[in-house]
Amino acid sequence: MSSTRLDRLLRRLSPGAITRSYLAKFAVVVILVVLAIGAVGAVTYAETTDRLEANAQQDYTAVAELSATEIDVWTSDHRSIARETADSDAFGFTREPEEVESYLTSQLSWQPDEIVAFHYVNRQEGTLIASTDHERGTAITETNWLSDGLLIGEDTYTSPTYEVDDERHVSYVAYTPRRNYFVMEVSLASIVGDLRQPTDGSFTTIVQSDGVIGASDREGTVAEPYADEVRDAMISGSAVGHVSSATFEFTDDAEYFVAYAPVPSEDWYVAVHVPLAEAYALSGMIGRNLLLIVGVAVVGLGLLGATLGRGTVAELNRLTRKARALESGDLDVGFDTERRDEFGDLYGAFSTMRDSLGEQIESAETQKRRAEDAKAESEAFAERLESRAAAFGATMDECADGDLTARLDVEPDDPDALADIADGFNDAMDELEGAIAEVDAFAGQVAARSEAVTDGADEVAAAGRETSDAVDEISAGAERQSRRLSEVAGEMEDMSATVEEVAASADQVATTSREANAVTEEGREATAAAVAELHDVEERSESATETIERLEAEMAEVDAIVETISEIADQTNLLALNASIEAARAGEAGSGFAVVAEEVKALAEETQSSAAEVEALIDGLRERTDESVAEMSRIREGVDAGVDTVETADDALSEVATRVAEADDGVQEISGAMDAQASSVNEVTGAVDDLAGVSQQTTAEATTVASTAEEQAATLGDVSEQAHALTERARDLRRMTEGFEVDGERDVGDGKTDLGVFDDSDRDADSDRDADTDFDFGMTDSGQSVSADGGTDEAREPGLVDGSLNANAEE
């Protein structure tokens, strides 16, 4: 591809002689490559040199910045020493110069060696007060920089550098407590000796703010000023920078690269000077080597073109002639050669291609004949597949229309894949047909059992109404008893009045005794009647209690039936889910059954909800029944207490009769007898009042029991309505499954499906069966069937266990 594009380019841009000659093309390409190498080499040389010079400049600038940082640390330490020493109390108002000088000498003894002297100077007069070296101290006071307004606030002043005995010094000045000057003189020899030298010919200087060199590690440069160009760039320019090329008079006008950086704590700069020859030595060497490489490449390409071009062109011309003969159809052309290089391989390849071309021509004719035969066979097979697919589609349409007995027929010459499809579809339809049959049987059984539940609920409601009637009779009896006891209480009050009259009038003792005897007999008869009535109330209470307890037992059975209905709804929901799975596996053919499965699922959910409501009603009814039993127990206890009270009254009336008989024996004993009689009458009156209260309480309790029984009857009516609704839903489910045609002889378990449903042999039994009828509503987790009375039947077939339909549903 690339050679073709190059040929096109050469044909457009070059004369015909170059276009027709490979040697000319080769020469032109070599020249272009040499020019390209030269251009790339020049660009690479320029970029490499610039980058190396930039790196060198960054490195030397970093050296200057590092040196400035070291000097900043050094000066900061000495400024701190000056401030700490000046803050001492030794410079107080009461101190004599001798004491101050002694203190200065002591402090200097343990300071670093570069600190050469301490001086104490009167700020206003400019005279030396004390010093560790008076000669140097005097020299300090005579300098131009030491003046009265030297310091502002509590800062420390750094003096210009100066020379003492061929060494550069600097002084740090700080205030003392008396506002005089403390001067610390420091030698710069140690810090200058530690200045960095990046190359052998380089040197470093400390430059003051006026552009004069304050210290240097090269002799002859101290106190020399920089030229305006360098000084302006250093002092008024950027904080850290460099000057690419500069000459200095104090270095014999040699050319240097200068990198500089400020000292943060002082008004100083650090300048690193590197000769240009040393600064860019690496870039010059690399540039020369790069130019040498480019020159060698150019010369090598020239020699390559001269030696290889001519022989290659001659051999290519020879090979071209043979290839054109092969192109014209001459398969006998010879490609023999003695060369073992690439051209020898090329000759061999052409020879192999010539032999292979003849074989391929024969093979192509053979393959053409085979292809025609295979095409005919493929067309016949396609027609066979199309016919079988149409037959399969017709059978699937029948199944989709509701005929679940239709099956796909497999012929012996059908492919294995087509046979597998037919077998899988037939298996799915077998399972679907069985599931529909099971659903139909299950719906009928649910309807029958729902009717039985309805009948049981009606019987329980009738028992509740009987209980209500019995309680109403108890209430009426208790009310009559209350009225009778009220009458007895009135009579006892009359008796008390009579006894008092007898006690007041002895003349009427006999008459009063006879009347008392008669009244006493009537009281005994009343108490006997009250005892009999109370015993009757007690018997009715016991009968009502037994009826309510029997009703509670029937409620337990109804509760068990409702729980079983709830389990049936859960199993129906699982059946609908498995049916949906089977419909999904059948694809579009099972879409109609999928709709039915959704309806079955919805009906199961509604049934489950209704069963939950019935169960809640039964729980409330059971609570009210328990309350009725408790109330009847309390009524029975009250009746027993009333019987005891009335018997006590009967005993009292017997005592009254005895007293009346004794009254006939003599008038003398009338007074004592009347007193005892009055006491007895009062006791009887109190007992009758107590009995009347008990009778009223009995009446109220009986009324409460009657109200509870009526509520119980209303609740049972709701239960019966829910059972009727369940029956209607089961019938709707069965009507839905009648739309599918299934095999009438299919074995669905003799009335029991794989879902664990109940025995259907008693579907046509009398619907008026009692509450003890045994219903089979499914299986427990242990494989036993559950009946309506809460028992299990181990003879039932296992059905749904742990929510799985059968082995096919798990697949």
pLDDT digits (tens, 9 = 90+) for 412-434: 777 777 778 878 878 887 887 78
Distance of CA 94 to the CA centre of its chain: 80
User: What CATH fold (topology level) applies to the domain 49-283?
Assistant: Beta-Lactamase (3.30.450)
Return the SS3 of 786: strand
The tokens for 361 are 């021509």
Most confidently modeled of 23-32, 567-576, 692-701? 567-576
What separation in angstroms does the CA of 191 have from each of 65, 111, 169, 183, 221? 15, 16, 11, 20, 16
The reported pLDDT for the residue numbered 793 is: 44
pLDDT, average across residues 314-326 = 74
The reported pLDDT for the residue numbered 25 is: 67
In this predicted structure, the answer to whether residue 777 has a pLDDT above a threshold of 60 is: no
Cβ atoms 573, 604 nearer than 8 A: yes
In this predicted structure, the answer to whether residue 368 has a pLDDT above a threshold of 50 is: yes
The reported pLDDT for the residue numbered 718 is: 73
Of 809 and 487, the one with more pLDDT: 487
In this predicted structure, the answer to whether residue 58 has a pLDDT above a threshold of 80 is: yes
Q: Which residues contact 435 (CB under 8 A, 6 or more apart)?
A: 575, 578, 579, 582
Residues in the chain: 811
Query: Which of 798, 802, 801, 775 lies closest to 563, judged by CA?
Result: 775
In this predicted structure, the answer to whether residue 82 has a pLDDT above a threshold of 90 is: yes
Of 496 and 377, the one with more pLDDT: 377
Of 119 and 575, the one with more pLDDT: 119
| CA pair distance 169, 163, nearest whole angstrom | 6
Strands 157-158 and 167-175: antiparallel
Across 180-189, 336-345, 661-670, 690-699, least confident range: 661-670
* % the chain with pLDDT above 70: 65
- For 741-756, the pLDDT digits (tens) are 666 655 544 444 444 4
What is the phi/psi pair of residue 118, to 5°? -115, 135
The CB density around residue 656, as the number of other CB atoms within 10 Å, is 24
pLDDT band at 294 (very low <50, low <70, confident <90, very high): confident
The reported pLDDT for the residue numbered 468 is: 65
The reported pLDDT for the residue numbered 22 is: 60
Query: Which of 595, 574, 572 lies closest to 400, judged by CA?
Result: 595
Query: Which of 288, 269, 280 lies closest to 214, judged by CA?
Result: 269
Taking phi over 0 as left and psi of -120 to 50 as alpha, with beta for the rest, 557 belongs to alpha
- For 704-743, the pLDDT digits (tens) are 766 776 776 677 677 667 767 777 777 777 677 666 666 6
- For 621-637, the pLDDT digits (tens) are 667 777 766 766 777 67
What separation in angstroms does the CA of 627 have from each of 537, 634, 701, 710, 711? 19, 11, 11, 13, 12
In this predicted structure, the answer to whether residue 139 has a pLDDT above a threshold of 80 is: yes
The reported pLDDT for the residue numbered 209 is: 84
pLDDT, average across residues 32-44 = 77
Matching residue, tokens 């999904």: 584
The tokens for 721 are 């309505």
The reported pLDDT for the residue numbered 249 is: 75
Of 646 and 599, the one with more pLDDT: 599
Q: Which residues contact 701 (CB under 8 A, 6 or more apart)?
A: 631, 632, 634, 635, 638
The reported pLDDT for the residue numbered 688 is: 62
pLDDT band at 7 (very low <50, low <70, confident <90, very high): low
pTM (whole model) above 0.75: no
What separation in angstroms does the CA of 746 have from each of 56, 431, 741? 100, 11, 12
pLDDT, average across residues 65-72 = 92
Looking at residue 388, its amino acid is R
pLDDT band at 12 (very low <50, low <70, confident <90, very high): low
In this predicted structure, the answer to whether residue 803 has a pLDDT above a threshold of 60 is: no
| CA pair distance 268, 443, nearest whole angstrom | 107
Of 51 and 552, the one with more pLDDT: 51
The reported pLDDT for the residue numbered 83 is: 92
What is the phi/psi pair of residue 202, to 5°? -90, 160
Domain residue ranges of the chain, discontinuous segments joined by +: 49-283, 422-793
* % the chain with pLDDT above 90: 13
Of 711 and 802, the one with more pLDDT: 711
The reported pLDDT for the residue numbered 810 is: 37
Cβ atoms 792, 784 nearer than 8 A: yes
pLDDT, average across residues 504-531 = 66
pLDDT band at 74 (very low <50, low <70, confident <90, very high): very high
Q: What is the dihedral of CA 637, 641, 642, 644, to 10 degrees?
A: 140
The reported pLDDT for the residue numbered 106 is: 93
pLDDT band at 587 (very low <50, low <70, confident <90, very high): low
**What's the CA angle centered on 746, arms 744 and 749, to 5 degrees?**
125
The reported pLDDT for the residue numbered 455 is: 73
The reported pLDDT for the residue numbered 108 is: 93
| CA pair distance 606, 611, nearest whole angstrom | 9
The reported pLDDT for the residue numbered 715 is: 73
Cβ atoms 480, 533 nearer than 8 A: yes
Instruction: Identify the helix (H) or strand (E) that includes residue 674.
Output: helix 670-737
Burial class (CB in 10 A: 0-12, 13-18, 19+), 44: middle
Count Cα neighbours of 744 within 13 Å in the Cβ-side half-sphere.
0
What does pLDDT average to over the chain?
73
The reported pLDDT for the residue numbered 171 is: 95
Matching residue, tokens 């108002």: 93
Q: Which residues contact 129 (CB under 8 A, 6 or more apart)?
A: 97, 100, 120, 121, 122, 180
Q: Which residues contact 509 (CB under 8 A, 6 or more apart)?
A: 502, 663, 667, 670
Return the SS3 of 338: coil
The reported pLDDT for the residue numbered 120 is: 94
What is the phi/psi pair of residue 149, to 5°? -95, 40
Across 23-32, 350-359, 398-407, 764-773, least confident range: 764-773
